[in-house]
Amino acid sequence: MRRSFLRKIQFTLIIFCITNHSLSLYADRHSEAEVKKILNEVESTFNDYIESGVFDYAPREAERARKYLENAKRMILQDERDFAFYELKKVSAHFKLFDAKRKMVNAELDLDHLKKSIK
């Protein structure tokens, strides 16, 4: 009887794991405090970029970063801290891109003006 009871437990566990395959079997590697601290820093830097006009010179990239930030906030509410951490990493990877695009737009505008002025 004990054997069949154990067998039932095993099968129930298998079915449960298969149907809930997204259930994490390991604890999140990042603490809530750590993720929230990173969120505050990233959000503050992103807001600074918005105020400096990032949607002028990098609209697609800024919109994409905004979506990742919203995803991260949603995942924190769902207690998916690891996923949130990686979404925040994606947002912070955009900051270097914003700086590069700002310089690119300025340089190409200058070149465009020069070409027009010597026509």
Partner 1 sequence: MQKNKKFIFIKTIALMQFTLLYTGALIFFPHQGWTNDKSEAKNAISVAQKAIEFLDKNTYLKKHIPYKEYYNARVYFDTAQYQFSEERDYSNASYFAEMALFEAETAIAIARTRYAHYQKLKIENEYYLEILQSAGRTSSIKFALTKAGFFRENNQHKRIFVDSQLFKKDFSDISKNGKKCLNKIIAVLKFLRKGTLELIAFFPESSSQKDLTEKKLKLIENYFQTQKGISAIKLSTKIVTKTDGIVIGDELFHFHGIEVLLSGIQ
Minimum distance, C-beta of residue 118 to partner 1, in the bound complex (Å): 5
Q: What is the DSSP letter of 44?
A: H
List of residues contacting partner 1 (CB under 8 A): 1, 4, 7-8, 11, 14-15, 18, 21-22, 48, 51-53, 56-57, 59-61, 83, 86, 89-90, 93-94, 96-97, 100-119
The answer for residues whose C-beta is within 8 angstroms of residue 31's C-beta and 6 or more apart is 81
Minimum distance, C-beta of residue 79 to partner 1, in the bound complex (Å): 17
Token pair of 88, please? 């925040």
The answer for residues whose C-beta is within 8 angstroms of residue 105's C-beta and 6 or more apart is 57
Q: Please identify, using beta-carbon distances, which residue of 6 and 37 lies nearer to partner 1.
A: 6
